[in-house]
């Protein structure tokens, strides 16, 4: 009997694999669903935008926005010319 089943199994292995995997997967899914308990849904937080709006509203009530304007400005550093500006300067020297 085994001598008859083995050549048939080899010949039709492609056609037998998917249904077997489907059955095994369905059984595993059902067992997992039974064993895991229903967990309560997580309470969603406010959206980040809503939290920011509330924080800005509270800050404007407290007058913290005026205190922010009192900060001294940082001294500005001299800006070095970029590569492109150097090229433009060189071209203008040669063209005139």
Give tens-digit pLDDT for 24-43: 999 999 998 888 877 666 66
> Is 51 part of any domain?
no
Contact 59, 65 (CB under 8 A): yes
pTM: 0.35
Structural domain tally of the chain? 1
Q: How far apart are CA 44 and CA 51, in angstroms?
A: 13
Domain range for 3 is 1-36
> Is 16 part of any domain?
yes
> Is 10 part of any domain?
yes
Q: How far apart are CA 93 and CA 96, in angstroms?
A: 6
Q: How far apart are CA 38 and CA 41, in angstroms?
A: 9
> Is 21 part of any domain?
yes
- Alpha carbon dihedral 60, 64, 65, 68, in 10-degree steps, equals -170
Q: How far apart are CA 47 and CA 45, in angstroms?
A: 6
Whole-number mean pLDDT of the chain? 79
């Amino acid at each position: 009997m085994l001598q008859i089943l083995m050549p048939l199994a080899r010949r039709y292995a492609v056609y037998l694999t998917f249904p077997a995997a489907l059955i095994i997967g369905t059984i595993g899914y059902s067992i997992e669903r039974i064993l895991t308990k229903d967990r309560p849904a997580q309470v969603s937080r406010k959206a980040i935008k809503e939290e920011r709006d509330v924080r800005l509203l509270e800050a404007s009530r407290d007058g913290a926005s005026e205190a922010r304007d009192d900060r001294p400005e940082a001294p500005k550093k001299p800006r070095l010319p970029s590569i492109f500006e150097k090229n433009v300067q060189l071209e203008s020297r040669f063209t005139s």
